[in-house]
């Protein structure tokens, strides 16, 4: 059985029977049949269905938000925002998919030559628990509008969310089997990837999970998009608006309990303003309230599970043993649930987990550097490359650093990194490859076909 556990109190929400490979095979066959009918469906029909999905999300925001908060512990006000963002991505691709996928005429010696875009088939999506709805909709909205079908293998602890999303697409009048959830453990993923009716795979998850999926998909030459971990650097320069920077940095670090691949994790501050920034950062972090995620006054709920909370605490302890200084938090509360307080580590150096690894929780690593040059070097000194930010009052300076000097897929100036349906999202190095969202994301799982007429 697959169990969903409420991380705020440790109580079982519901258990689900794992599907057999035979059941999964039947679901995939039905999804492929649905795809064969859907791929040539007019964009006006696709748009109508996707608009209905958006409408359902808006009308049932309370229901879906409470489900997410119960299953993985995010503060309820953030769950409301997540549902709203899912409705936005549905509307965005409903309105823009036809334009994004229109033929592109290219002048050659031919009487006519152009590029056309055709869907690949059934896309397997392996999704994580941290944003139970958003991670799925940012894959599903562009892919269903492109004419593909979707099979969702969600994280086990958010199975209720996975089934709710399937029901949303069914209620929105998409073909019954076009988007299906399979309830299965990770050990069966390899066999599912091998299924002849799976055309391609997308995964959001850890680096080891991404490498495993890429290896299995590569063995059968199936396209993959990988959105993996991150240890996002935020570079605070001597001319930054320190109050604005500290606020943005704290908000980024604590969003979703710090359990976000693009949450700020390493804060790199030039020494001339380090002490003042540290003071502002500490005051801001101390003001954040941790507690019942259903209480809208709280900024921080529990971590998604006791195991994940304990793993995070071990990283903090190891960093302290290696010389990091604990400024705030760092102690497991004596209360039920997977809670971990806002935590700040200073004097973070190379070789510490807080410097080298992804800290998936509300833990801050403060790093002092001499100047901009050293700051950029430290920012890029990571196996990851998902997001990065720079804070400076000189916007041209910030643009130069973000555009040319920081090695990441998403680089922001004077703002924390966030995903947006209008902008491509993804990373480099061990943060993965490929892009989601925008015109670039919708073209990941289509056949970019050349047509030449003489």
Active-site residue, from 82, 227, 430, 436: 227
Q: Is 261 a catalytic residue?
A: yes
Distance CA 356, CA 361 (A): 15
CATH of the domain at 334: 3.40.309.10
Do 9 and 134 touch, CB atoms closer than 8 A? Answer: no
Residues 282 and 374 in one domain: yes
Catalytic one among 49, 90, 261, 410? 261
- Is the same domain home to 136 and 28? yes
pLDDT digits over 275-291, tens only?
A: 999 999 999 999 999 99
For residue 313, give its domain range: 232-413
Q: In whole numbers, what is the pLDDT of the chain averaged over residues?
A: 98
Q: Is residue 421 part of a domain?
A: no
91-101: pLDDT as tens digits: 999 999 999 99
300 within 8 A of 288, measured Cβ to Cβ: yes
Which residues, 6 or more positions from 416, have their beta carbon under 8 angstroms from its beta carbon?
234, 248, 249, 251, 252, 255, 264, 389
Work out how many domains the chain is built from and give that number: 2
The answer to whether residues 86 and 28 belong to one domain is: yes
Whether residue 422 is contained in a domain is answered as no
Told to judge if 227 belongs to the known catalytic residues of this protein, a careful annotator would answer: yes
Strand partners, 447: 118
| Closest to 343 in 3D by CA, of 276, 262, 269, 250 | 250
Do 311 and 203 lie in a common domain? Answer: no
SS3 227: strand
- Quick: pLDDT tens for 213-268: 999 999 999 999 999 999 999 999 999 999 999 999 999 999 999 999 999 999 99
Same domain, residue pair 204 and 246: no
Co-location of 140 and 286 in the same domain: no
Whether residue 205 is found in the same domain as residue 69: yes
Contact assessment for residue 82 and residue 68, using Cβ atoms and an 8 Å cutoff = yes
- For the chain, helix, strand, coil in percent to 5 are 45, 20, 35
Cα separation, 380 vs 252, in Å, equals: 19
Q: Are 59 and 76 in contact (CB under 8 A)?
A: no
Task: Tell me: do 103 and 182 sit in the same domain.
Answer: yes
Q: Answer yes or no: is 125 within a domain.
A: yes
Within this chain, do residues 297 and 156 fall inside the same structural domain, yes or no?
no
Do 218 and 279 fall within a single domain? no
Please state, as a whole number, how many other Cβ atoms lie within 10 Å of the Cβ of residue 160: 18
């Amino acid at each position: 059985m697959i169990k969903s556990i409420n991380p705020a109190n440790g109580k079982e929400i519901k258990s689900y029977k794992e599907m057999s490979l035979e059941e999964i095979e039947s679901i995939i066959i039905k999804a492929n049949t649905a795809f064969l009918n859907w791929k040539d469906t007019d964009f006006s029909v696709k748009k109508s269905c996707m608009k209905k999905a958006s409408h359902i999300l808006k009308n049932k925001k309370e229901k879906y938000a409470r489900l997410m908060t119960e299953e993985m512990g995010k503060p309820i006000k953030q769950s409301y925002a997540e549902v709203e963002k899912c409705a936005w991505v549905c509307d965005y691709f409903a309105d823009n998919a036809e334009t994004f996928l229109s033929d592109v005429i290219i002048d050659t010696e031919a009487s006519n030559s152009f590029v056309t875009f055709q869907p690949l088939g059934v896309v397997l999506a392996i999704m994580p628990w941290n944003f139970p709805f958003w991670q799925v909709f940012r894959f599903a909205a562009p892919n269903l509008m492109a004419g593909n079908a979707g099979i969702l293998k969600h994280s086990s602890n958010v199975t209720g969310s996975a089934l709710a999303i399937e029901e949303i697409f069914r209620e929105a009048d998409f073909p019954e089997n076009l988007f299906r959830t399979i309830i299965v453990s990770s050990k069966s993923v390899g066999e599912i990837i091998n299924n002849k009716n799976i055309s391609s795979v997308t995964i959001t998850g850890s680096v080891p999970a991404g490498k495993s999926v890429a290896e299995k998909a590569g063995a059968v030459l199936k396209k993959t998009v990988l959105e993996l971990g991150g240890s996002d650097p935020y570079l605070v320069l001597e001319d930054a608006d320190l109050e604005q920077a500290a606020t943005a940095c704290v908000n980024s670090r604590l969003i979703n309990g710090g359990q976000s691949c693009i949450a700020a994790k390493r804060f790199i501050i030039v020494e001339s303003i380090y002490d003042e920034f540290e003071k502002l950062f500490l005051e801001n972090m101390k003001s954040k309230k941790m507690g019942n995620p259903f209480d809208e006054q709280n900024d921080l709920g529990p971590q998604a599970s006791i195991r994940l909370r304990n793993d995070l605490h071990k990283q903090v302890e190891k960093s302290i043993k290696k010389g990091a200084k604990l400024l705030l938090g760092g102690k497991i509360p004596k209360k039920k649930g997977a809670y971990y307080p806002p935590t700040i580590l200073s004097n973070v150096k190379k070789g510490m987990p807080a410097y080298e690894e992804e800290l998936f929780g509300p833990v801050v690593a403060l790093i002092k550097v001499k100047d901009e040059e050293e700051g950029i070097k430290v920012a890029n000194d990571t196996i990851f490359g998902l997001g990065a930010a720079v804070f400076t009052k000189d916007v041209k300076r910030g643009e130069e650093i973000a555009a040319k000097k920081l090695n990441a897929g998403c680089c922001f100036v004077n703002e924390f990194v966030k995903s947006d349906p209008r902008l491509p999202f993804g990373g480099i190095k061990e943060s993965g490859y490929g892009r989601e969202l925008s015109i670039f994301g919708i073209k990941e799982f289509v056949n970019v076909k050349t047509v030449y007429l003489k």
